[in-house]
Amino acid sequence: MKFKLLFILLIILGCENDKNLINVNIQIDGFKKGKVYLQKIKDSTLVNLDSVFVDSKNLIILKSKIESPEIFYIDLGISGKDNKIAFFAEKGEIKIVTNLKRFNTDFEISGSSNDSIYRKYLSIIKKFNNNKLDLIKLSFDNSKNKDSVSIIQAKIESLNKRQYMYSLNFAVTNGDYHVAPYIALTEFYNSEKILLDTIKSSLSNEVLNSKYGKILNELIESK
């Protein structure tokens, strides 16, 4: 009887542990042979969490424990190339579809609500950055015209301010997502305490008690 109860307890504990797992199913068109890694940053170092050797068309499934949503990486073990996909991982099943030729520039991710929100944020930031690059090029092309350069520089400064306010507003209005404290840490790390407190006050209890929420709180307390 005691053995039976112990067996049942082990099954229950096993089910609870499964709830803290991430399963990443990956499809890479054109990738026939090589290693694929699942990684994250731990103590300022990029560490491998899982890996699989791909041979022909076998399934690519990578697994890891995860306490709360955070940035993970999928990496192709190809020397000399930037072959990482950064994504917001969370518990459960996540699917990534990409191709070898445009591995980290043309991909789709499903199964992570935080990553969906993060992609929306990145798409707008990309537009800001592209606009600034166009203005920088225009400034370079008109470098002999000081008045024109001054006007262009003013437009760049205006874009910087708009991007700053967009990031702040995005973090504050998405306090139910773990993306919010991540943006605070990556975009406003050196900002004043009052601004970081504004973002913190918008976070749900779940997010506040997550990995990035706790780091944000530590940062605020250190200021």
Does 218 lie in the same domain as 124?
yes
Can you tell me the mean pLDDT for 90-114?
Answer: 94
3-class state of residue 122 by DSSP? helix
- pLDDT of the residue at 80: 62
Contact 41, 71 (CB under 8 A): yes
Can you tell me the mean pLDDT for 23-29?
Answer: 94
Beta bridge partners of residue 37, listed in sequence order: 51, 75
Can you tell me the mean pLDDT for 61-88?
Answer: 90
End position of a domain, from candidates 95, 111, 127: 111
Indicate the range of 38-47, 73-82, 132-141 predicted with least confidence: 73-82
Residue bearing the bigger pLDDT, 34 or 143: 34
Does residue 156 surpass a pLDDT of 70? yes
Domain coverage including residue 164: 116-222
- pLDDT of the residue at 81: 66
Does 131 lie in the same domain as 67?
no
Percentage, residues of the chain above pLDDT 90:
72
- pLDDT of the residue at 216: 97
Q: How high is the mean pLDDT of the chain?
A: 89
What are 181-201's pLDDT values in tens digits? 999 999 999 999 999 999 999
If one counts the domains in the chain, the total is 2
Residue 27 sits in a domain of what CATH number?
2.60.40.10
End position of a domain, from candidates 111, 141, 162: 111
Indicate the pLDDT class of residue 180, thresholds 50, 70 and 90: very high
End position of a domain, from candidates 69, 94, 111: 111
- pLDDT of the residue at 143: 75
- pLDDT of the residue at 18: 62
Amino acid making up residue 156: I
- pLDDT of the residue at 142: 78
| DSSP labels, 178-198 | THHHHHHHHHSTTS-HHHHHH
The 10 Å Cβ neighbour count of residue 219 is: 19
Does residue 12 surpass a pLDDT of 60? no
